[in-house]
Amino acid sequence: MKLNTKYLQLLSDRTTPVNLFLQLRNQFAEILLLESSDYHTKDNSFSYLCFEALSSFEASKHR
């Protein structure tokens, strides 16, 4: 299977990941925003917008 990954680096003072998420959720049925940050430093903080899933999983309490 070949995966295609596209990325775009934006300055955060103009567009936030939440704003992009809110705009894209009207265009895609299932979309996910993942953010990583260390509150002690502003370095190495990443946001991922995920859509058009290739697979999924479900967790439940039932065995």
pLDDT, one tens digit per residue, over 22-39 is: 988 889 888 999 988 777
* pTM of the complete model: 0.58
**Is residue 21 within 8 Å of residue 28, measured between CB atoms?**
no
Q: What percent of the chain has pLDDT over 70?
A: 87
Residue 10 region by backbone torsions, left for phi larger than 0, else alpha for psi between -120 and 50, else beta: beta
Q: Is 70 exceeded by the pLDDT of residue 11?
A: no
Q: Of 21 and 41, which is predicted with more confidence?
A: 21
Q: Is 28 helix (H, G, I), strand (E, B) or coil?
A: coil
SS3 content of the chain, % helix, strand, coil (to 5): 15, 20, 70
At residue 52 the predicted structure's pLDDT band, cuts being 50, 70 and 90, is: confident
